Homo-oligomer: A and B are copies of this chain.
Amino acid sequence: MADPRFFERAGPFTLGELAERCGTRLADPAMAACTVDDVATLDQAGPGQLTFLDNPKYTDAFAQTKAGACILHEKHAALAPAGVILLLSPKPYLSYARVAQLFYPAPKAVPGIHPTAVVEPTARLGDGVSVAAHAVIEAGAEIGAGSMVGAGTVIGRNVVLGKECRISAQVTLSHCLIGDRVLLHPGVRIGQDGFGFAPDPAGHVKVPQLGRVQIGSDCEIGANSTIDRGAGPDTVIGPGCWIDNLVQIGHNVTMGRGCIVIAQAGVAGSTQLGDFVVLAAQSGVAGHLKIGTGARVGAKSGVMTDIPAGESHFGIPAARVKEYFRQVATLRRLAQKKGADNE
């Protein structure tokens, strides 16, 4: 059970309500009035709790679960232990995510401005906005209805923030336009100067960075990640992108919708990502490249060329995944041979 010091649980819910709201179907509709009061993993759930089976490698754990109910794909229904009520879903993990959100909804803004916050008179705050201690909202900034601004966060001059955003503590925003329902974790930096200068032995000369950052709705950006503003054009993060912690996005980068960028990855200036691109952890993409829709880049890879839509690339310099693993295998074989020759 989630630690009640940190998590507030809603519910209980009837299985009928959960099924309806979360895209599942009760295998036995007669069970619709049964209630569950929490979610839990297969091995920890007890009677009265709801669990899920997604990854087939957990079918053994499923066979032994004590859960009262379970979300799963129809094809696994036959494996269910007696007494477990089944909610069928074509995408069990997705349905579970929705159920878990019902039990543990995101914290809501407690409307009001903390007396220690500094809100300039020309800033415009929508209904129900919450501004925490020591936050700073500069002149002309707009905060959409229902948004939360965390402690110590600084919203720069004329920044526009949509509705129902959750901006954590100690975030800095400047020169940016942000959509609705965006979640920014602590220490996120958006809109500072990009890395632009004319190199010169007498002293590099700064090139003023005259663009902005646009962040689409429904994005989440991880702790201490940095997104520089454009040099002239804007830096653009499409709607529904998920960016993990300590990620760097350079100036003029554009991303389509639904991209996933995992921890410590980086994208250099002016590179364009299509929709649903995945950049795994600690990968890097050089500047001025095009990464097609649905392309995937492996962990720690270094991309130096365009990637066509739908391809997976790995390695440094990154190559098609099949090529990359052939290279790894080839080198391993040659090195073993050499090792053997020397013995």
Residues of A within 8 A of B (CB): 2-3, 5-7, 40-41, 44, 91, 93-94, 96-98, 100-101, 103-104, 106, 114, 116, 118, 132-134, 136, 140, 150-152, 154, 157-158, 168-170, 172, 174-175, 183, 185-187, 189, 192-193, 195, 197-201, 203-208, 210-212, 218, 220, 222-224, 226, 228, 232, 240, 242, 244-246, 248, 250, 258, 260, 262-264, 266, 268, 276, 281-282, 284, 286, 299-300, 302, 304, 315-317, 319, 323, 326-336, 338-339
Contacts and interface: CB of A to CB of B under 8 A. Distances in A.
A272 to B, nearest CB: 16
A74 to B, nearest CB: 18
Nearest to A337: B330
Given A97-B205, A136-B132, A330 B328 contact: no
Contact of A91 (B198, B281, B326, B339): B198
Contacts of A242: 195, 197, 204
A239 B138 CA distance: 33
Given A133-B118, A136-B152, A186-B172, A246 B244 contact: no
A212 B174 CA distance: 31
Nearest to A302: B300
Contacts of A212: 3, 6
A274 to B, nearest CB: 13
A198 B335 contact: no
Contacts of A192: 168, 185-186, 222-223
A334 B335 contact: no
Given A203-B218, A248-B264, A284 B258 contact: no
Given A6-B158, A246-B226, A198 B286 contact: no
Given A2-B210, A100-B207, A338 B316 contact: no
B263 A195 contact: yes
B223 A189 contact: yes
A240 B300 contact: no
Cβ-closest 6 pairs across A and B: A5-B158, A2-B210, A189-B223, A94-B198, A172-B186, A104-B208
Contacts of A134: 116, 118, 134, 136, 152
Given A100-B207, A101-B208, A195-B222, 9 more contacts: A136-B169, A168-B192, A195-B263, A224-B246, A281-B284, A281-B286, A315-B316, A326-B339, A334-B334
B198 A93 contact: yes
A151 B151 contact: no
A258 B201 CA distance: 7
A332 to B, nearest CB: 7
Given A195-B263, A302-B300, A317 B328 contact: yes
A330 B335 contact: yes
B207 A96 contact: yes
A328 B211 CA distance: 38
Residue of A7, A93, A98, A192 with highest tally of chain B CB at under 10 A? A192
A29 to B, nearest CB: 25
A219 to B, nearest CB: 10
B172 A240 contact: no
